[in-house]
Amino acid sequence: MTTRTPRTKVAIIGSGNIGTDLMIKVIRGSETLEVAAMIGIDPESDGLARARRFGVATSAAGVEGLVKLDEFDDIAFVFDATSARAHRHHHDTLVPLGKRMVDLTPAAIGPYVVPPVNLGAHLDSVNVNMVTCGGQATVPMVAAVSAVTPVAYAEIVASISSRSAGPGTRANIDEFTETTARALEELGGARRGKAIIVLNPAEPPLIMRDTVHCLVPDCDPEQVKASVHGMVERVREYVPGYRLKQEVQFLPVPAGAPAAKLAGLAEGGWQISVFLEVEGAAHYLPAYAGNLDIMTAAALRTAEYLAAGRVAA
């Protein structure tokens, strides 16, 4: 008879769209994690109501309420699905109490983690940052290109339905662009990165779409295509709705052209363009909210990996 390893207990701070979707993902799909607590600040929120129906301990008193729960001592990891500003307070409160954090805000206190790029790089970190939804979608593509040829400049445009942008997302627009741009450089390998987010008000709502432009000095198109397609499959392992909208595009950039000057390519080069869309799994919100799905799926994959390392140790 085999003995089942106890699941690692986690808490989620933030009972909005992202936190609730993450809770449902853990409850329905994780064999290694167990949601021990859901924390919010609105006692009437749908997320807290759903948590109670699942038998999960709840508090509407924020992080201070989490600390007072009977379940607190057994919790190993805390997901933060609030805002960059709030996360700093949560980090300062929980890390000294021995809790490790998976940060779904763009606060970026801890190192960046994008699962197909550097999942195993920060196993000992007390706080890991999931960048942004745009970062989770586009950093893998920049990394795929930079694995073949140096990327002088990477620019991404993340377009999401305005319906899927909650208060936390709207409050963090500046942090979104700054954090995503840094991740394009630090993880993607671009010498310089830039990020733009578009909240699309179209009705009916459109699913998340991302455009990635990389300026490179030279490239082998077939090698780049193979690297990009391989990375897409790695992301699809945990986000099945992640896909290319069309084949990778290559455009020559003449010496002296504005794009060449922007990237510092004195002799010109190539613009490589990747067009993506991300359809959500509809665990909580409709399928158009792929921006939420890729964040929560990446956070779950990261926490499961960290928990596996914790159990093995």
- Catalytic site residues? 133
The two counts, helices (H) then strands (E), for the chain are: 11, 12
Is there a binding annotation on residue 129? Answer: no
172 labelled ligand-binding: yes
Whether 190 has a binding-site annotation, put simply, is no
- The token duo for 280 is 């959500």
Dihedral sign computed on CA atoms, order 282, 288, 292, 293: positive
Give the span between the Cα atoms of 313 and 285, in whole angstroms.
37
**Cis before residue 205, ω within 30 degrees of 0?**
no
Whether 166 has a binding-site annotation, put simply, is yes
291 labeled part of a ligand binding site: yes
Two structure tokens written together for 59: 């508090």
Rounded to 10 degrees, the C-alpha dihedral 17/84/48/12 comes to 100
Distance of CA 167 to CAs 53, 172, 188, Å?
A: 25, 9, 28
CA distance 100 to 77: 5
- The annotation status of 200 as a binding-site residue, yes or no, is no
Q: How many whole angstroms separate alpha carbon 151 and alpha carbon 129?
A: 23
Q: What is the 3-state secondary structure (H, E, C) of 67-102?
A: HHCCCHHHEEEEEECCCHHHHHHHHHHHHHHCCEEE
CA atoms of 139 and 307, how far apart (whole Å):
24
Q: What is the H or E stretch that residue 112 is in?
A: none
Q: The tokens of 267 are what?
A: 């002799």
| Residue 7 labelled as part of a binding site | no
134 assigned ligand-binding residue: no
Backbone φ/ψ region at 3: left (φ over 0), alpha (ψ -120 to 50), beta: beta
Query: Was 170 annotated as part of a binding site?
Result: yes
Contact 18, 296 (CB under 8 A): yes
**40 labeled part of a ligand binding site:** no
Annotated binding site: 15-18, 164-172, 291
Annotated binding site for NAD(+): 15-18, 164-172, 291
